[in-house]
């Protein structure tokens, strides 16, 4: 009954497609060189950082359509902290009625930067921690990454002013066995919220099969999240990346719902208009340098909002298609409905 209600709710949300979460890929430069980077970012980039004035101009139509403070702008990259104007960008966003946050690897997030960003109205932060010291530094390909990330986590965890934050962990065979120790570490550092992703065959990980969880390992991850949620010391959740059948509502608060292009949009570093930045860029719906962002949001995004094109290949006769609708958008490539990796099949394959 609840699943049927959710499916109805999802249809209504899709029809309304009220934007409430907007990524800004402000740069593709990065101070790390992570093994599993979905954007394949480097210290230098083919693209120049987007001028903030260009992004702000693209947001102007949204100010007339949506209520103030109803759209969270999440600044990502690359690594957003490589931009020295980040605090000024955030301050202007707040002045225009857009709360804002960042997704960061934590390398450049020290006490001075924390104070600067908080003064500019920072309201949400996501940091990555992908294992204990040796594993995390190997993932990030830079010694000291673990200490920098943990210091950044401490700064936000101990912040007394209102600040939403969480820690995300990309799970692979390299760190699966460390999750219990990592949990204890996060609890000791007063972290309240912890999200899990798996490393899918996209970006740099597309040609690195050793980063992919086996069927048994994926089930092990699900069982760990269930046990951690029951324990209650930290709010653990599996991400919105996949429908997980018998684990639905056990590993997250509600049922799977890929909101890409439905309530989540993005402006990419070259001005492209899309949804989550890791989605195949052939799904781009327009560009702020030639299109009105609001018109694109209202009138395009058909591949995101009508996903019947995904009902092919392994999804064609799947009995749970009506619940997952082909899975998350970032697991598809334009021109092919076939999903790159089906988490439900991984679970059922081990049943």
> How far is it, in rounded angstroms, from Cα 168 to Cα 165?
10
Q: What average pLDDT does range 235-246 have in this prediction?
A: 96
> How far is it, in rounded angstroms, from Cα 70 to Cα 18?
10
In 3D, which of 98, 100, 105 has the Cα closest to residue 81?
Answer: 105
pLDDT of residue 43: 47
Reply yes or no on whether the pLDDT at 45 is more than 50: yes
Total-model pTM: 0.95
| 245 touches 344 (CB < 8 A) | yes
- Identify the bridge partners of residue 238 per DSSP, sorted by sequence position: 196
Residues in contact with 345: Cβ distance below 8 Å, sequence separation at least 6, in sequence order: 314
| DSSP letters spanning 110-132 | -HHHHHHHHHTTEEEEEEE--SS
pLDDT, tens digit (0-9, with 9 covering 90-100), for 77-113:
999 999 999 999 999 999 999 999 999 999 999 999 9
| 170 touches 198 (CB < 8 A) | yes
Longest dimension (CA), the chain: 55
> How far is it, in rounded angstroms, from Cα 153 to Cα 134?
18
CA angle, corner 267, sides to 47 and 148, nearest 5? Answer: 70
Reply yes or no on whether the pLDDT at 6 is more than 80: yes
> How far is it, in rounded angstroms, from Cα 314 to Cα 318?
7
pLDDT of residue 210: 85
Distance of CA 172 to CAs 41, 141, 197, 250, 330, Å?
A: 20, 16, 9, 21, 18
Reply yes or no on whether the pLDDT at 194 is more than 90: yes
> How far is it, in rounded angstroms, from Cα 348 to Cα 222?
13
pLDDT, tens digit (0-9, with 9 covering 90-100), for 105-159:
999 999 999 999 999 999 999 999 999 999 999 999 999 999 999 999 999 999 9
| Residue 310: Cβ-neighbour burial (10 angstroms; 0-12, 13-18, 19+) | buried
In 3D, which of 326, 321, 351 has the Cα closest to residue 341?
Answer: 326
Q: What average pLDDT does range 223-233 have in this prediction?
A: 98
> How far is it, in rounded angstroms, from Cα 79 to Cα 66?
28
pLDDT tier for residue 39 given thresholds of 50, 70 and 90: low
pLDDT of residue 63: 96
Burial 96-120 (b: 16+ CB within 10 A, else e): eebbbbbbbbbbbbeeebbebbbeb
| 309 touches 337 (CB < 8 A) | yes
| 113 touches 127 (CB < 8 A) | no
Helix 145-157 / helix 111-119 crossing angle, nearest 10 deg: 40
pLDDT of residue 180: 98
Reply yes or no on whether the pLDDT at 46 is more than 90: no
Four-CA torsion 48, 50, 53, 59, nearest 10 degrees? 160
| 34 touches 170 (CB < 8 A) | no
Token couple for 97: 């009625």
């Amino acid at each position: 009954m609840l699943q049927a209600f959710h499916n109805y709710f999802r249809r209504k949300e899709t029809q309304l497609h009220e934007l409430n979460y907007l990524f800004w890929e402000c740069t593709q430069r990065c101070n790390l060189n992570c093994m599993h980077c979905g954007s394949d970012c480097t210290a230098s980039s083919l693209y120049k950082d987007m001028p903030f004035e260009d992004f702000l101009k693209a947001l102007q139509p949204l100010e007339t359509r949506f209520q103030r403070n109803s759209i969270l702008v999440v600044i990502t990259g690359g690594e957003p902290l490589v931009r020295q104007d980040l605090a000024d960008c955030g301050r202007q966003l707040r002045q225009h009625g857009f709360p804002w946050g960042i997704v960061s690897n934590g390398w450049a997030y020290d006490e001075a930067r924390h104070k600067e960003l908080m003064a500019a109205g920072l309201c949400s932060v996501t940091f990555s921690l992908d294992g204990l010291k040796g594993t995390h530094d190997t993932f990030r390909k830079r010694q000291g990454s673990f200490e920098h990330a943990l210091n950044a986590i401490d700064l936000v965890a101990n912040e007394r002013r209102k600040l939403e934050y969480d820690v995300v962990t990309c799970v692979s065979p390299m760190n699966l066995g460390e999750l219990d120790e990592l949990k204890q570490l996060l609890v000791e550092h007063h972290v309240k919220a912890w999200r899990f992703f798996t490393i899918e065959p996209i970006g740099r990980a597309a040609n690195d099969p050793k980063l992919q969880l086996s069927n048994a390992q994926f089930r092990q991850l699900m069982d760990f999240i269930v046990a951690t949620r029951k324990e209650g010391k930290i709010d653990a959740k599996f991400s919105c990346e996949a429908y997980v059948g018998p684990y639905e509502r056990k590993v997250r608060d509600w049922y799977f719902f890929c909101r890409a292009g439905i309530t989540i949009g993005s402006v990419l570093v070259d001005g492209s208009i899309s949804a989550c930045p890791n989605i195949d860029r052939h799904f781009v719906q327009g560009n702020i340098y030639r299109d009105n962002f609001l018109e694109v949001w209202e009138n395009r995004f058909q591949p995101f909002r009508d996903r019947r094109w995904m009902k092919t290949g392994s999804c064609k006769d799947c009995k749970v298609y009506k619940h997952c609708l082909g899975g998350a958008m970032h697991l598809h490539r334009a021109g092919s409905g076939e999903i790159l990796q089906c988490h439900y099949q991984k679970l059922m394959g081990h049943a």
